[in-house]
Structure 1
Amino acid sequence: MTEAAATPSARKTELLEKCYAYALTHGLSDLSLRPLASAVGSSPRVLLFLFGSKDGLVRALLERARAEELAAIASLHPSDDGAAGGLEAVVRHIWAWLAAPSHRPLLTLWLEGYSRSLLGEPGPWAGFARSTVEDWLDLLAAHQAPGERGTAEGLARRTAGLAILRGALVDLLATDDVERATAAVDAVLEVTRESGD
């Protein structure tokens, strides 16, 4: 594939952004091309031409959501030694981002894709959950000291950090109780720190 062929057209990029804004409000589960196309100023035929199929469009939207989430979390900029603030500080920082009300639509969309992937649905959902776990573990690993990063204990610690974040996030999306979910994250991190001392 040539570089030109791999680069999406300006129209495709524009429509992807409009479709993504629509998906943040309406979700992906019952996505119908006709109302989507109407909402974004296009037609089902154009969307199918640009994305290959409805599954291709859903896959592109999931990738767009994943890219936004990763960019936000990756902006933490680990220090050269990978341990600035440690894993606990990074988990707290990520939680603050996750808990921000402005991120609810993105995270609800993420949970929808994650859940459908866990159900083993074929097509664009396949592998989405596993990929996001790997993405997050890689990002958390970047914030561990190099000596810890490659160890079984290091993997266990970042898996625990991810479990804290994911569990609290699902609870937050269900209840919108930021104060309680944040208190729970803080309590678990405090116990983890004390047991590590």
Structure 2
Amino acid sequence: MGEIRTRSDCYSQGVPRPIDQAKRETLLRDIRTYISDNGLADLSLRPLAAALGTSDRMLIHYFGTKDNLLAQALADQKPAFHLIFDNVDSRPALQSSLRTLWQSMTSGEDVQSVRILLQAMGIACTGPGRFTAYVTTMFDTLTDALTHAIQRCGSAPEHARIEATVLAATFRGLLFDRLITDDEDRTSAAVERLIHNHAG
């Protein structure tokens, strides 16, 4: 009679356990919070695992490598810019949407995404690397959304792209300022000036 092999026997011989997708999503959420609070530059699996109440071996089981873990964590850190700007078709609506974006990025649901993006930007500035594609995609996503909105407000495509670039780049600079200095009054006043001068 042949030997009966159990499910446990299979795993003990190197067959990987199936991924618990709900657990994986929970881990990704907690990883993003950890990155937002502790930074990207010196991220190490062992301290990350300890903070999450798990092991570095378990993180490898779910994500394979540290770089893959980071790639998957960052993939979901993309604010839904199209939801803010897709219905904009007038300058007053554009100004209102820019104020909504600033509020969301400084005190709303996109604060965590902004903290992670700004950290990735700082690292990407040192040279091409694993965060360059993520940062470039984030830049393009906001600039594209603004470009289409500004075109619907009546600007020619070539002018709309430049206007969008000025708005997006200045927003990022002011977000850096706000995150570092925590000066709400000054940075918010600067955003109002930006909106008045470039979106009015």
* TM-score of the two chains, using structure 2 as the length reference: 0.77
How far residue 96 of structure 1 moved from its aligned partner, in angstroms, is: 2.1
C-alpha deviation, 1:57, in angstroms: 0.9
Alignment check: 8 A CA contact 1:86 1:143 kept: no
Tell me if 1:153 matches 2:165. no
User: Given the alignment of the two structures, is residue 76 of structure 1 paired with residue 76 of structure 2, yes or no?
Assistant: no
Residue of structure 1 in register with 2:15 after alignment:
none
**2:102: which partner in 1?**
95
- Please say if 1:130 is aligned against 2:142: no
Match of 1:35? 47
Task: Summarize the alignment of residues 98-117 of structure 1 with structure 2, pairs less than 5 Å apart.
Answer: 98-100=105-107, 104-117=111-124
Superposed CA RMSD: 2.6
For the residues of structure 2 that align with 1:147 and 1:23, how far apart are their CA atoms? 38
Of 157-166 and 184-193, the range deviating more from structure 2: 184-193
| CA displacement at 1:91 relative to structure 2 | 1.9
Q: 1:12–1:50: 8 Å Cα contact kept in structure 2?
A: yes
**Alpha-carbon separation, structure 2, partners of 1:131 and 1:169:** 18
Q: Is the 8 A contact 2:85 2:146 kept in 1?
A: no
Q: Which runs of 5+ in 2 are unaligned?
A: 1-18
Could you tell me whether the CA contact under 8 Å between 2:86 and 2:145 is conserved in 1?
no
* Alignment gaps of 5+ in structure 1: 1-6
> How many aligned residue pairs are there?
181
- Could you tell me the percent identity over the aligned residues? 26
Which structure has the greater CA radius of gyration? 2
| Counterpart residue number, 1:4 | none
Which residue is equivalent to 1:165?
A: 171
How far apart are residue 37 of structure 1 and its match? 1.1
State the TM-score, normalized to the length of structure 1. Answer: 0.78
The structure in which a higher percent of residues are helix is 1
- 1:140 counterpart residue number: 146
Conserved 8 A contact 2:89-2:153: no
CA-CA distance at 1:190 after TM superposition: 2.3
